[in-house]
Amino acid sequence: MSVQAPQLEQARELLQKYYGYPDFREGQKRIVASMLEGSDTLGIMPTGGGKSICYQIPALIHEGLTIVVSPLISLMKDQVDALTTMGIAAAYINSTLTGREANDRMRAARRGDLKLLYVAPERLELDWFREELAQLPIDCVAVDEAHCVSQWGHDFRTSYLAVAPFVDSLPQRPILAAFTATATPAVMEDMIRLLRLRNPSTFVTGLGRDNLAFSVLRGESKKEFVLNYVREHSAEPGIIYAATRKDVDEIQQRLLQAGISAGRYHAGMTDQERAENQEAFLYDDIRVIVATNAFGMGIDKSNVRYVIHNSMPKNMEAYVQEAGRAGRDGEPSQCILLFGAQDIITQKFLIEQNPEDGRKSNDYRKLQQMVDYCYTTRCLRSAQLDYFGEQHDDTPCGICSSCTDERELVDMTVDAQKIFSCIHRMRERYGVSMVASVLKGSRNKKVLQYGFDSLPTYGVMGSMTEKEISELINVLATEGYLMLTEGQYPVVRLQPLAAEVLRGQRQVMQRKVRHATAAPGSGYGRSRSRDAYPTAVNETVFEQLRLIRRDLAAKEHVPSYIIFNDATLREMSVVCPATERDMLGVKGVGEVKYRKYGKPFLEFFQSYANEQEAETTFYEEDYE
């Protein structure tokens, strides 16, 4: 059946009432319509793209209960806090509750007092819990972070395989909807098959987020860059990701010694320590947190202004998920990846720790694709979209580090020919480091043992360092001239394009090598200015609004962004609402939130308007 216009209009009214937005984004509208039609639905939407609204609004329209399968305790709490703050009846059941508390919430669900109930996938593996849920009038099961069901996804959890049997066991099959931010075509197929979605309507709304400026920086002093960047952005919340627990501890200590209040988060800490640090970050008690990838999946903090990766992640899915935690409120934000050759060694070591040999080949392939991304000179957003198989035009984003790179293009054809010739003479049987050693003219043991010092290409690039030669080889690989085999020790192979270069039929143009360390903000990934508003934001007013929000959040015992996010406060600081109607016209101010929180903001603007009027009168009198 097709969704009726009155249902969509009801959905829009609920969106305005509870969330303060006059209409859905185009992708949201299509997904909501699909769910209201009763269709199984698969939604691939970017982090910060408003996935939760897609199942929360239908939940308010459906007569029965919506079960939300959610992977993390912190995510459940964030979402339920946000819903209850808006006046929507929601609860979660997880291991933090006592038996009595869990029973109370199940009774509330049986009475029909709840519209949404959040549960962890592990709960669905328990027979007694499934039997309890079978007694509830479930209209919809929404699966968040649904990529976790696929073993080819980056956060595979076997408990997600319990979702489909649970849905099939219910007396009446509900609508099944699955959502995630990142999925390759193979992972999408797995989600449909393993969750047993029936003829699902599939929506891919695009990874591209105009407010995020992506940068890849090679050759930086990571210690200096991170310290300088955090100092320069001390008033802005940020996340710094590191590959190992040791790196996390060292970075946090460096920041603390510099007088910067920084938290940390990794699996080597106690549950209590992790919870305390995460809460301090969510509540803005600390502005920066240093973490491994154990931190962040589903974190709803909307005002993260930057995400720095101190080293390269293991694959593109993980990177896009983690970087996408910046700018969830739509405000301009930075996503900076600091890349060094050691990162490859670290990630290979971590892959080798995985006991599942069947996954290693796939993990190495994904790692090489991540290395290619770090060396590419193409628009970074286009490279991401290509990885996930998204259709897009070739228009550059204009704000990533590739698009803003103003270095001069130089002809590198001769150097490329030297590299290709050397690889050919080495029978395409060795890796990047060995090829670079031969081209440099190294006297190391293996070069001499294999007789490579007798090759015509031995030492022909002696004026460059081995590191510079290796970087050039990797760049040539990302541009299709070379191919690196999969596995722990990839071998460099020539591609057809390389033959054209060797025959003099094709030129190779590259940006000049950057030797000097760039200062933060020197042009890498420079973000677009805040041009979403017709008038400049009044930063003094904005800071006053943040203080009011902080006081309200402290009284409610919720993070500040749950009251109103930064984008809403910025719009307020431009509009300066003087009446209830003005306040309700600000995006993010719904009727329920206005009734709960609007009064102190409105009183501030009325007082501010009086002060401005008095000041204007004073100067006019002075002029007369």
What domains sit in the chain, N to C, each tagged with a CATH number? 5-204 (3.40.50.300), 212-387 (3.40.50.300), 409-511 (1.10.10.10), 539-623 (1.10.150.80)
- DSSP class of residue 87 equals T
Contact 525, 213 (CB under 8 A): yes
Contact 188, 179 (CB under 8 A): no
3-state SS, 254-304, equals HHHHCCCCEEEECCCCCHHHHHHHHHHHHCCCCCEEEECCCCCCCCCCCCC
* Rama region for 302: left / alpha / beta (φ>0; ψ in -120 to 50; rest): alpha
What does the pLDDT read at residue 612? 67
Q: Cα-atom radius of gyration of the chain, to the nearest Å?
A: 27
Q: How many angstroms from the chain centroid is the CA of residue 518? A: 25
Q: Is the pLDDT of residue 321 over 90?
A: no
Question: What is the phi/psi pair of residue 291, to 5°?
Answer: -150, 160
Specify the range with the lowest mean pLDDT, choosing from 236-240, 469-473, 620-624: 620-624
Residue that the structure tokens 């309507």 belong to? 201
Q: Is the pLDDT of residue 198 over 50?
A: yes
Which residues are bridge partners to 175 per DSSP? 140
Task: Tell me the C-alpha distance between 53 and 77, whole Å.
Answer: 16
What does the pLDDT read at residue 615? 52
Task: Tell me the C-alpha distance between 571 and 586, whole Å.
Answer: 7
Contact 181, 47 (CB under 8 A): yes
- pLDDT tens digits, 276-291: 898 889 888 899 999 9
Burial class (CB in 10 A: 0-12, 13-18, 19+), 8: middle
Task: Tell me the C-alpha distance between 220 and 229, whole Å.
Answer: 12
Task: Tell me the C-alpha distance between 328 and 322, whole Å.
Answer: 12
Q: Is the pLDDT of residue 137 over 90?
A: yes
- pLDDT tens digits, 151-194: 776 678 899 999 999 999 999 999 999 999 878 888 899 999 99
What does the pLDDT read at residue 1? 43
- pLDDT tens digits, 57-102: 999 999 999 999 998 887 888 889 889 999 999 999 988 888 899 9
- pLDDT tens digits, 225-272: 999 999 999 889 999 999 889 999 999 999 999 999 999 999 899 988
Residue that the structure tokens 């603390």 belong to? 256
Contact 313, 322 (CB under 8 A): yes
- What's the average model confidence in pLDDT over 114-121? 95
Q: Which residues contact 99 (CB under 8 A, 6 or more apart)?
A: none
- pLDDT tens digits, 375-389: 888 899 999 988 888
- DSSP class of residue 209 equals -
Amino acid at 31: I
Please name which of 272, 267, 256, 271 lies closest in space to residue 295, comparing C-alpha atoms.
267
What does the pLDDT read at residue 424? 95
Amino acid at 259: G
Amino acid at 111: R
Q: How confident is the model at residue 533 (pLDDT cuts 50, 70, 90)?
A: very low
Task: Tell me the C-alpha distance between 128 and 142, whole Å.
Answer: 21
- pLDDT tens digits, 12-62: 999 999 999 999 988 899 999 999 999 999 999 887 778 899 999 999 999
- DSSP class of residue 501 equals H
- Residue 356, CA distances (Å) to 70, 291, 352, 361, 362 in order: 26, 25, 9, 10, 11
What sign results for the dihedral spanned by CA atoms 275, 277, 281, 284? positive
Please name which of 545, 597, 601, 566 lies closest in space to residue 237, comparing C-alpha atoms.
566
Specify the range with the lowest mean pLDDT, choosing from 205-219, 252-266, 306-320, 458-472: 205-219
Contact 164, 192 (CB under 8 A): no
Please name which of 585, 583, 579 lies closest in space to residue 606, comparing C-alpha atoms.
579
What does the pLDDT read at residue 153? 65
Residue, of 448 and 27, whose pLDDT is higher: 448
Alpha helices in 15-154, H assignment, sequence order: 26-36, 51-61, 73-85, 99-111, 127-134
User: pTM of the predicted model, to two decimals?
Assistant: 0.73
- pLDDT tens digits, 145-157: 899 998 776 678 8
How are strands ordered across the β-sheet holding 288-291? 212-218, 333-339, 306-309, 238-241, 288-291, 262-265
